[in-house]
Amino acid sequence: AFYKSICNAVVSVSTPEIAEAAKLLENTFRLVNIALINEFTQLCSASDINVHEVIDAAASKPYGFMPFRPGVGVGGHCIPVDPLYLTWWARLHGGEAAIVEAANLINHEMPSYVAERALSLVNPDIKNPKVLILGVAYKPGVGDVRETPVAELRDHLITQGAVVAWHDPLVPIWEGSKPVDLGWECDVAILATKQPGMD
């Protein structure tokens, strides 16, 4: 009755455990599919295949496929966290959630993959390349930087000697630093989060 007073629709289930497991399944579904497309992206890149064109073609199937897009990793307060409860729950009952653990690993490796890929585009004679990261929020349309994989991307770039700046129209300050404008001169730019209204 309470939820009906504040929500448009309420789905009733038999127990709180079912409700919590449903939330775990939904977030885990996204984690696994994001990892699948991130891994598939690396395979396509190694063969000089445009992964976005592949996704668009696969999405033309009228059923059984849901398009996910590659990215720097996963962020926010749900997807990078909730599926790990599932792995804990599996171990608690003597099992394992191998697909979930593999997906988590793939997504955690994406920031370093993206960093290495971007740096490979820079003239190797440039000792300290200037890298502009576009979008630092964990997803488009928000200014939320909780668990953003862009932090790992930035850190990896810095360990490789890059000078890193960032721009995000929805984030006024991030970890004590301020954004630069889009005119900041760089050797390579990385579109990490495609914020609406960002040129």
Rounded alpha-carbon distances, angstroms, from residue 119 to 40, 53, 115, 164, 192? 20, 24, 6, 12, 14
Under a CB-based contact definition with an 8 Å cutoff, are residues 192 and 153 in contact? yes
d(CA 136, CA 35) in angstroms, rounded, equals 19
d(CA 66, CA 55) in angstroms, rounded, equals 9
Catalytic (active site) residue 7: no
Question: Per DSSP, which regions of the chain are E strands?
Answer: 130-134, 163-167, 188-191
Considering 7, 44, 78, 186, which one is annotated as catalytic?
Answer: 78
Task: Transcribe 21-40 into DSSP letters.
Answer: HHHHHHHHHHHHHHHHHHHH
Catalytic residues: 78
